[in-house]
Structure 1
Amino acid sequence: MTKAMGSAMRRIQAGNALSAFGLGFTVPYLYVYVAQVRDLGPTSAGIVLGAFAMAALVALPFVGALIDRRGPVPVLIGAALSAAVGAVALGSAASLVTTVASAAVLGVGTAVMQPALATMIVRCSLPETRTRAFAMQFFLANLGLGIGGLIGGQIVDKNDPTTFTLLFGIEAVMFLVLAGIAMTVRMPHIPLVEGAAAGRGFFAGIRTMARHKAMMQLCGLGFVIFFACYGQFESGLAAYGTEAAGIDPSTLGIALAANTAMIVVAQFLVLKFVERRKRSRMIALVGLIWTVAWIAAGYAGLGHGSQTMATAAFISTYALFGLGEAMLSPTVAPLVADLAPESMVGTYNSAFALVKQLALAVGPAVGGPMGASLHMPYIVTFILFSLGISVLALRMGKRLTPAQDLPVPVASIVVAKNVPAEGESAVKTAA
């Protein structure tokens, strides 16, 4: 990496951490804010959360081509400013209409940040350093969310709406800080390839990507990954834990903390192991780890042990998910970047972000009702999904080039053999 790329990367990672810190102040409390503090009720809260997700689904398909044409920096600045406006408006909204509109603006801003930041990381890294760059991004994002949520929990008071206004204000300031940092980043110049799909617009980019079988397989795999893990955290798995396992609601917070703690502790411990092995095999291994996690969840709700054992097994489920997430963060996002043509990195990142958003929308809708009432089918279904991750990952690996599946140069992994010179070999033969 050049000195300029290193400087840009440090600023990008700092902005990423601060924006996650701001999100942590409000994300855990959005439902409570709408339903109880603004007294709009649970139905309205569901509508607001749906608007937050749907706005992202509407925006993401068109963001990639914009990033590839205009560059990720102006797109990130616009997204951060949009998110700041949405946060301020949400903190002062009182009616359902203004709350939904504010949530939609905030949802668009936060969703567009993801592919913009990912593209900036790609532009400021080399294939050999990209794995660690994305691992650092994931680590800082989780750390920021965790610290923000912890501090926000000490401030928030559902009997005092001004405390929520303060939280949304802090979130808006963090987004403005991100925009300010982005303005100082000097990205390496990447010339567009002549006749590239990005230059012809959104639909040409989609057609090009649809013909890329490895990317299509990765998108399908990504949907299963996000559906079977992230899409269940605060919906199906939480409902299953409280209904089937008899977990106290306060224990859900401990389980989420165990997930975050595992990510923070394990991220760089597993990095060396992950980056020196084929990506497809690492994703397959994550599928097996998550299979064990779902078996632990099954024991918690369907076993006949004590409540203490059930609680421990349930918390272990979240911790095992965290271990898998720590292994995926330096694997999946860099693979998207390595599959993308030079002029379509933004399009590929946006497409994968859209897949993630779809999974996060479908996951709770499917998992929530199953986890609450169909306990055994719920566990069996997601054990099969986890095993499916392993199968899909190994199938995808057959379509990857050696450089895409294992980007770290072989010479840095395997000690080179001591091959004798031609003359030396002749002397040994004669001897």
Structure 2
Amino acid sequence: MTRAMGAAMRRIQAGNVLSAFGLGFTVPFLYVYVAQVRQLGATAAGVVLAVFAVAALVALPFTGRIIDRRGPLPVLLGAVLLAAVGAAALGVSGSVHAVVLSAALLGGGTAVMQPALATMIVWCSNSGTRTRAFATQFFLQNLGLGIGGLIGSKIVDESRPASFTLLFSIEAVMFLVLAGLALTIRLPQAPSLRDAMPENAEAQAKSGLRTVLGHRSMVQLCVLGFVLFFACYGQFESGLTAYGTEAAGIDASTLGVAMAANTGAIVVAQFLVLKFVERHRRSRVIAGVGLLWAAAWIAAGYAGLGHGSQAMATAAFISTYALFGLGEAMLSPTVAPLVADLAPESMVGQYNSAFALVKQLALAVGPAVGGPMGAMLPGPYIVTFILFSLGISVLALRLGRRLTPVQDQPSLAAASRVVAVHRPAPERAVGAAR
């Protein structure tokens, strides 16, 4: 990595912190703000939370193509300004229509930021540095979310609507600071369309969506990603919460401790597991996460379905979140870099956006399925997600058979002093290598 690329990477990572800080600052308090402070009711609050997912699903299909045509920096600037307007508007919105529209702007803007920032990381890294770059991104995002939520909790006061206006105003300012920081980033020369996959003219002629859908390894990774996000992130604030309070009898205050254990596990473990991840095949690391999360769901099952004391149930429930955090720390330097290594140079933005879209779909479907099951069918709920976790291991090992050795373990390129190009190998070549 050149000095210029290193300077750009530091600014990009600072941007990741700012975007995460802004979200952590307000998102935990949206429900209370809409339902109680603005007195618009629980239904309106639920619609606002759903709008975040819907806005992302609407915006992301168009984001990747624009990133690849115009570059990630203009897209990031547009997304940041959109989010800033949405945050500022939320702070003064007093009607259902105004709140929903503001939430759509904020949700769409923050959703588009992620593939733009991820593409910028890809442009400023290579196969040897990309794993650590994405691990750093995930670490800083969680740190930003945690700090933002902590500071936000000290500002909000349900009896003073002005405190929430201040909260959203500060979030808008943070996004504007991010925009100013983005303007100082000097990215390397964008990859040229005519240089991407020169030996595969047919792929160049296809549309972006057809290329992604025709790339079997990427399709398998998207299926795996959906299961990953559905079985973990999609359950945090819905199914697992409902299960913990209903079946396990966990006090509501313990949920905050459990989330803190999750964040703490990520912060502590992120760089401890990095060397382990770098030495092993990505597919096997992801398979290991599936087994780890199966153990987490077993611990959750003991908390709600076992016959131990309440203290043991509470400890088991908190350990569930901590084990999820350890798995997340193993995934962050694995999955996102793999998306980049599979993408043709001219389609990095579209591949990142496609994977972000899969994530949003999982986050939309996960609560809808997990919430009712966790509350009303605790036994089947636990069994279902143990099976989903084991399915992660199976899907990861199957994906590993389709990857080239360097795609599966980038350290092999450094060991052999061969520079790996992040593009999908022709399917026949992959098949011949198995």
Shorter-chain TM range is: over 0.9
- Which residue identity does 2:119 align to in structure 1? T
Residue 309 of structure 2 is aligned to residue 280 of structure 1:
no
Which residue does 1:428 correspond to in 2? none
2:88–2:169 CA contact under 8 A, matched in 1: yes
- Which residue identity does 1:14 align to in structure 2? A
Moved more, 159-168 or 2-11: 159-168
Identity %: 77
Shift of 1:108: 0.6
Shift of 1:155: 1.0
Q: Deviations over 1:236-261 (max 9, x none)?
A: 00000000000000100000000000
Number of aligned residue pairs: 412
Tell me the SS of whatever aligns to 2:410.
coil
1:90–1:99 CA contact under 8 A, matched in 2: yes
For 1:328 and 1:253, how far apart are their aligned partners in 2?
23
**Given the alignment, which residue of 362, 378, 384 partners 2:365?**
362
1:62–1:202 CA contact under 8 A, matched in 2: no
Shift of 1:74: 0.4
1:80–1:113 CA contact under 8 A, matched in 2: yes
Which residue does 1:173 correspond to in 2? 173
Residue 380 of structure 2 is aligned to residue 386 of structure 1:
no
Which residue does 2:54 correspond to in 1? 54
Residue 256 of structure 2 is aligned to residue 236 of structure 1:
no
Provide the aligned C-alpha RMSD in A.
1.7
For 2:295 and 2:177, how far apart are their aligned partners in 1?
41
Shift of 1:404: 0.5
**Given the alignment, which residue of 266, 270, 273 partners 1:267?**
270
For 1:112 and 1:201, how far apart are their aligned partners in 2?
25
Residue 227 of structure 2 is aligned to residue 250 of structure 1:
no
Shift of 1:202: 12
Which residue does 1:226 correspond to in 2? 229
Q: Deviations over 1:385-412 (max 9, x none)?
A: 0000000000000000011000113664
For 1:163 and 1:413, how far apart are their aligned partners in 2?
58
2:128–2:414 CA contact under 8 A, matched in 1: no
Shift of 1:413: 9.9
Q: Deviations over 1:309-368 (max 9, x none)?
A: 000000000000000000000000000000000000000000000000000000000000
What runs of 5+ residues in structure 2 fail to find an aligned partner? 198-202, 418-434
For 1:263 and 1:104, how far apart are their aligned partners in 2?
30
Indicate how the Cα distance of structure 1 residues 121 and 88 shifts in structure 2: closer, same or farther if over 3 A, else same. same
Indicate how the Cα distance of structure 1 residues 240 and 413 shifts in structure 2: closer, same or farther if over 3 A, else same. farther
Which residue does 1:419 correspond to in 2? none
Which residue does 1:306 correspond to in 2? 309
TM, length-normalised to structure 1: 0.93
2:239–2:374 CA contact under 8 A, matched in 1: yes
Q: Deviations over 1:172-214 (max 9, x none)?
A: 11111111111111110023222969xx999810001111000
For 1:248 and 1:98, how far apart are their aligned partners in 2?
35
Residue 12 of structure 2 is aligned to residue 9 of structure 1:
no
Shift of 1:24: 1.0
For 1:264 and 1:412, how far apart are their aligned partners in 2?
29
TM, length-normalised to structure 2: 0.93
For 1:10 and 1:228, how far apart are their aligned partners in 2?
32
Indicate how the Cα distance of structure 1 residues 385 and 73 shifts in structure 2: closer, same or farther if over 3 A, else same. same
For 1:268 and 1:107, how far apart are their aligned partners in 2?
30
Shift of 1:14: 0.6
For 2:346 and 2:118, how far apart are their aligned partners in 1?
14
**Given the alignment, which residue of 291, 295, 298 partners 2:298?**
295
For 1:289 and 1:186, how far apart are their aligned partners in 2?
40
Which residue does 2:429 correspond to in 1? none
For 2:195 and 2:323, how far apart are their aligned partners in 1?
46
Work out which of the two has the higher radius of gyration on C-alpha atoms and give 1 or 2: 1
- Which residue identity does 2:241 align to in structure 1? A
Indicate how the Cα distance of structure 1 residues 411 and 84 shifts in structure 2: closer, same or farther if over 3 A, else same. closer
2:405–2:412 CA contact under 8 A, matched in 1: no
For 2:163 and 2:207, how far apart are their aligned partners in 1?
47
Tell me the SS of whatever aligns to 2:193.
coil
For 1:203 and 1:70, how far apart are their aligned partners in 2?
19
